[in-house]
Amino acid sequence: MEILSSNADGVFTIQFNRPNKKNAFTAAMYQAMSDAMHEAERDASVRVILFTGNADAFTAGNDLEDFVNDPPMSPDAPVFRFMQAVSDAAKPLVAAVAGNAVGIGTTLLLHCELVYAAENAKFALPFSKLGLCPEFAASFLLPQLAGYQRAAEALLLGDAFGAEQAYDMGLVSRVLPKDELFAFTQAQAAKLAALPAASVRTTKRLMKAQQQAAVAAQMAEEIRNFAAMLPAPAAREAVSAFLEKRKPDFSNLPQE
C-alpha cells in the first residue's frame, strides 16, 4: 500500500510509502490520506496525527504524470479534500521530514504544530516553475511565518532550500541527525498524546482562531486560480518539459 496508517498509544501515523517514486502523490493516495485523516479525527483514542515518509524522501510532491491524466479541476478533487481535512483537523499534527519535501510536501508543514527535519531534508515550492500558483494557503501562511521577502523568494523563484534555512524561516521546529529523526519525533508525539486531550485541542484552536477564516478564504482563492492555470500553456509546457527531461521554454507564451 502506498499510504500506510496505524494507531499506537494515541499517535495515529500516516506514512507515505511509495519509495520508488520518492513518495510522489497520486489522486488515489490523496483519497487514502483524506480517508485516514477522517478516521483519525473520529477515533476518540487518537490524540495526535503524525505524517512521515522514509529516510530518503518525505514526498516529491505531486506525481506529474498522474496530474496530467487526472487533473484536479474542482474543489471536490482528492487533493483538495485532503487539504481541507488537514486544515480542519482539531487534533495536533506532527511531521517528521527527511529527504525531499517538494510542493505540498512543504505546504503541508504550514498546518502542522510540530515539524522535525533531518539534516538531509530539502524543501522546495516550485509552483511558479510549473506555471502554477501556491496551494494549501501557502501564499497567506508562509509570508506570516517567514516574512514577506523570504516567502517571496521561496514562492516566486521556487529554488530548493535546506533544513537549516527552513529552521531559520520558522518552518521547522528542530533539525536533527537523520538517524535520530524518527525516534525523536515519535517521542515528541507521545508526549503530546499523554497530555489532556481537551487542553491540547483547545490550545490549538485558540492559536489558530484568528487566522482560520483567512486561511479558508485563501485556500478557496488558490484552488480557483490553480484549477484555471492547470490547462494553460505555461503549465502544459512545464509538465511536458519535466516528462521529456528538458528545460522548459516560456519565452513565446502569451502574457496571461
Residue 182 domain-assigned? no
- The domain that holds 163 is classified in CATH as 3.90.226.10
3-state secondary structure the chain: CCEEEEEECCEEEEEECCHHHCCCECHHHHHHHHHHHHHHHHCCCCCEEEEECCCCEEECCECHHHHHHCCCCCCCCHHHHHHHHHHHCCCCEEEEECCEEECHHHHHHHHCCEEEEECCCEEECCCHHHCCCCCCCHHHHHHHHHCHHHHHHHHHHCCCEEHHHHHHHCCCCEEECHHHHHHHHHHHHHHHHHCCHHHHHHHHHHHHHCCHHHHHHHHHHHHHHHHHHCCCHHHHHHHHHHHCCCCCCCCCCCCC
Residue 194 domain-assigned? no
pLDDT of 178: 96
Residue 19 domain-assigned? yes
How many domains would you assign to the chain?
1
pLDDT of 256: 58
Range of the structural domain that residue 15 is part of? 1-176+204-256
Residue 74's pLDDT band, with cuts at 50, 70 and 90, is confident
191-225 tens-digit pLDDT: 999 999 999 999 999 999 999 999 999 999 999 99
pTM as predicted: 0.96
Residue 44, amino acid? A
Cell 485556500 belongs to: 219
Rounded distance between C-alpha atoms, residue 152 and residue 181, angstroms: 29
3-state secondary structure 125-181: CCCHHHCCCCCCCHHHHHHHHHCHHHHHHHHHHCCCEEHHHHHHHCCCCEEECHHHH
Residue 71's pLDDT band, with cuts at 50, 70 and 90, is confident
- The answer to whether 134 and 127 are in contact (CB under 8 A) is yes
Residue 197 domain-assigned? no
- The answer to whether 114 and 173 are in contact (CB under 8 A) is yes
For 159-172, what is the mean pLDDT? 98
Residue 94 domain-assigned? yes
Residue 193 domain-assigned? no
Residue 16 domain-assigned? yes
Residue 190 domain-assigned? no
Tell which wins on pLDDT, 252 or 189. 189
* Residue 99: half-sphere exposure toward Cβ, Cα within 13 Å: 17
Phi then psi for residue 2, to 5 deg, are: -85, -15
